[in-house]
Structure 1
Amino acid sequence: MRPGQSPEERLREALRARAAEVELAPDALPRIRQRTAAARGRGLWAMVGAVAAVATAIAAGVVAVETTRGEHRTLPPAARISGTAEAPAPGTAPSTPAPAPPGSVNLPAYFTRNGRLYREFLPATADGDQARIQAAVLLSLQGRAKDPDYRSLWPDTVEVHGVTIDGSRVTVDLGGVGAAPADPPLAVQQLVYTVLAAATYTSMRHADGVRVLVDGAPVARLWGAVDTSGTLHQGTLAELQAPVWVIEPDQGAVVGKTFTVYLAGVVPEGTVNLRVRDAGGAIVDERVVPLSAGAPALGEARVQVTLPSGRYTVEAFLHSEKDGSVQWVDDHEFSVG
């Protein structure tokens, strides 16, 4: 060792020295784990011994992470140890976030409010294309929206028996459809929009239409009101989707002091009004936001907002061209941490 070396340089030199001497042993991995555990809390030189043991694994092609002068390089997947984690740097707490459940995904689901469709992204656990679409349809039709203002037009008894995919068409087999809702055409479009949106989260990437079965059989007219004899297609965006809505912050979200407000809308002039109120109802931020496109296209915008900690409500809305009144309000409650 050279005078004036830093602890990091001494560790690296010790590592190189031991790596040159090691031989592959069949019990290398258990011994690495044992030595590493024994080295905890014994100070710098005990740590050198543990790092030297890691050199055995490096020589054997087992360890998947190499740290060199602050650079972090990940080696090919074939060299990784399944089920192990990189040790934290000295003096830092280990960070081991819990892995997401297999098949966990946020899926788009459509709901209704004031005679229009609104979309939320909701968590679900679903493996496979059919399972993802079925999960999204269940979330939508059973009205599991986070925003209490969003509703499903389908009855509480509705079930999804299954989903099948035939080329670019998705067939949904429903049960318990009950009596006709207040707006049967919009209810069917709630289903169609959800299926086509969920299809983009599968290997399909795109679906052209939806076929509806009830208890395994085709139905010429659902509730006697909507023609479901053939393939159903998505209706006109400007006539069915809400003119404006808040996507982020999500209902009930907790955000940092500087956060993004994500808005969308189908608006002729391509602008949306944004307003944020505090817990007492006072307006703390208000502005007009230009969207990326005007109607009939869907426009979007992301706005950076900074607020102190507290509870807030974000609102997006339009002003009536006739009398200037506030219309089509969509709002989410959230908190700034």
Structure 2
Amino acid sequence: MTDDPRLDPHFDARLSELISDAADGVEPREGLTAIRSRTRPDPKETPMSRNSSRNWLYAVSGAMVGTAAVIIAIAVVSQLNDDNGSTPTASQSQTQQSTPTPSESASDTPTSSGPSESTGTPIEAAVPVYFAGDGPRGTVLFREFQPGIGMDPVAQAAQAAVAGPARDPDYRTLWPSGTQATASYDGDVITVDLSGDLHDRPAGMSKKDANLAIQQLVYSVQGAAQARAGVQLLLGGQHTDQVLGQPASEPITNDEATKVLSLMSITSPEEGEKVSGSFGADGVNNAFEATFTWEVRDSTGKVVKNGFGTADGCCEVGKLFPWKAEIDLSGVAPGTYTFVAMNDDPSGGEGGGPDVDTRTIVVE
């Protein structure tokens, strides 16, 4: 096994093949477990036999994590633009969970798992994390997968969510600079211990962004733990009445996905992925009549390829639905391009526009 999973030449290929298994829900346990187990470096390989097709775009710093995001509901457009936002919901007990089947369920609900799944042997594979990005309804959360760094994925996810950076330059963390986090899951409650001046909402941070920062962390650790468990926030190892000015005395549950997640998200290709000939794209969305379009744009913004597709479902509040597309690159010259996936816009351009996600790709 290599010391650094990001140097495994097969990591990117395996992750691209398997990552769609986790796209139908937040991170169904079976799909994410497959990603984690099958993306481990092969102990039979030697450094002399490796010729990496692509290095990861950056070295994950400290204890970082991955997971980014998506989901539904045209009906809540006005809520995300309201600076008053909603406050996190406190709960004494873990919320009820459902168990989606990989590549079938449209629910944004991870399966329940015990401590051995989330806090057992450190994992050197994909970890999901949520980051903030811009959408037509204002700031929303997107999910991305980051390579594991050999630690508890729940702890890694917590640190990555609050400290970043995201692999996709369009994404960002909403937490104040210098924030640090550790986390653990006991099979009932996820405990996140934060350090920094975080009791009150910082000057310049809106109430909506403070709530979304909390949800960014909640969705990230829940995704890594594979459970919609309540999240207990601590400050410096001590219980606190609030974090970023938001109630935190009790375990916090996730807000409804339609309030906080993007309605279009790309899972594959990954940011900076090298492609040639053709490539498969996939992700999750919730769009009018389940339709979406895709484009490949050159550095000037010119569309060199485009197409459309239909997701596996639509229009249900609180759910996202898998979509897939096969992109033929015939006639596309080698170079750097932007792959764009967007929902259909039922307003005909009169509203805020469609939900969109993008990835940089390198055509060889």
- Distance apart, 1:254 and its partner CA: 0.8
AA matched with 2:240 = V
| Structure 2: distance between partners of 1:133 and 1:125 | 12
Q: How many residues align?
A: 238
Aligned to 2:170: 149
Q: Which residue of 2 aligns with 1:245?
A: 265
Percent of pairs with identical residues: 28
1:327 aligned counterpart, secondary structure: coil
CA, structure 1 residues 84+228, in 2 after alignment: closer, same or farther (shift >3 Å)?
Answer: closer
Residue of structure 2 equivalent to 1:194: 220
Q: Aligned residue for 1:312?
A: 337
- After TM superposition, list the pairs within 5 Å mapping 1:223-302 onto structure 2: 223-224=244-245, 226-295=246-315, 296=317, 297-302=319-324
| CA distance in 2: counterparts of 1:84 and 1:193, whole angstroms | 36
Which one of the candidate residues 137, 140, 147 is aligned to 1:116?
140
* Counterpart residue type for residue 121 of structure 1: F
Partner Cα distance (2:150, 2:153) in 1: 5
Counterpart Cα distance in 2 of 1:306 and 1:209 = 44
Name the residue aligned to 1:48: none
C-alpha distance in 2 between matches for 1:96 and 1:318:
43
- Take 1:249 and 1:313, find their aligned partners in 2: how far apart are those partners? 11
Shift of 1:168: 2.4
Q: Which runs of 5+ in 2 are unaligned?
A: 1-42, 53-121
Alignment of 1:157-236 (within 5 A): 157-160=178-181, 162-178=182-198, 179-180=201-202, 181-182=205-206, 183-200=209-226, 206-224=227-245, 226-236=246-256
Distance in 2 of aligned mates of 1:98 and 1:124 = 20
- Does residue 1:303 correspond to 2:330, yes or no? no
For the Cα contact (< 8 Å) 1:157–1:177, is it kept in 2? no
Counterpart position of 1:37: none
CA change 1:323–1:333 in 2 (3 A) is same
- Measured on the aligned residues, the alpha-carbon RMSD in Å equals 2.7
Map 1:97-108 to 2 at 5 A: 97=50, 103-108=123-128
Larger radius of gyration: 1
CA contact (8 A) 1:263 1:316 kept: no
| 1:110 partner letter | Y
Q: CA deviation at 1:285?
A: 2.0
Give ranges in structure 1 of 5+ residues lacking alignment.
Answer: 1-82, 87-93, 201-205
Distance 1:174 1:84, change over 3 A: closer
With a CA cutoff of 8 Å and minimum separation of 6, indicate the structure with the bigger relative contact order: 2
CA distance in 1, matches of 2:311, 2:44: 46
> How far apart are residue 300 of structure 1 and its match?
1.3
> For the structure 1 residues 279 and 98, does the alpha-carbon distance in structure 2 shift closer, same or farther, using more than 3 Å as the test?
closer
Given candidates 346, 350, 353, the residue that maps to 1:321 is 346
Cα pair distance change 1:84/1:211, threshold 3 Å: closer
TM-superposed deviation, 1:177: 4.4
